[in-house]
């Protein structure tokens, strides 16, 4: 009886193929990403995700600034027109009331708007160095 022959493929070891297919060893142009800070090649690219910095900036501008302005304008107009005629005082009261409504609207909308602003740009790609932790946005393709 004859034994069936089996085919075996001979694969080269990594040491044998080290100089042939590695793009870093080729003489042509290499498109590797390098860290701008430490020149490391250990780079990862991820989506940016939720931006808490934009969230807190928007929340601060929309909630605190109108409140401060309302206090300054309200106290200033009240002191300015305190000893004025009744018509001027009534006009100042109406101006304070309108300004108060606008400030209330800004403060009440600040949290939902800040949450939505935090989601802006969440799908942008950010490069990060695994060596030093430096993060940057990749350049746009031409």
**Residue 136 maps to a domain:** no
**Residue 42 maps to a domain:** no
Q: How many domains does the chain have?
A: 1
**Residue 24 maps to a domain:** no
Give the model confidence (pLDDT) of 63-106 as tens digits.
Answer: 888 888 877 777 776 666 666 666 666 777 777 788 888 888 88
What range defines the domain where residue 60 resides?
50-119
136: which strand partners? 127
**Residue 67 maps to a domain:** yes
**Residue 54 maps to a domain:** yes
CA angle centred on 115, ends 44 and 120, rounded to 5°: 45
**Residue 102 maps to a domain:** yes
Give the model confidence (pLDDT) of 17-45 as tens digits.
Answer: 555 555 555 555 567 888 989 989 899 98
**Residue 59 maps to a domain:** yes
């Amino acid at each position: 009886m004859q034994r069936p022959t089996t085919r075996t493929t001979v694969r080269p070891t990594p040491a044998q193929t080290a100089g042939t297919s590695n793009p870093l060893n080729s003489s042509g142009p290499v498109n590797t990403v390098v860290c701008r800070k430490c020149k490391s090649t250990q780079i990862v690219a991820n989506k940016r995700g939720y931006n808490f910095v934009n969230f807190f900036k928007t929340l601060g501008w929309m909630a605190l600034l109108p409140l401060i302005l309302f206090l300054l304008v309200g106290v200033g107009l009240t002191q300015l027109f305190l000893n004025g005629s009744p018509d001027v005082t009534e006009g100042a009261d109406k101006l304070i009331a309108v300004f108060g409504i606008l400030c209330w609207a800004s403060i009440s909308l600040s949290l939902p708007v800040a949450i939505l602003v935090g989601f802006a740009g969440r799908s942008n790609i950010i490069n990060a160095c695994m060596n030093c932790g430096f993060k940057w946005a990749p350049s746009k393709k031409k």
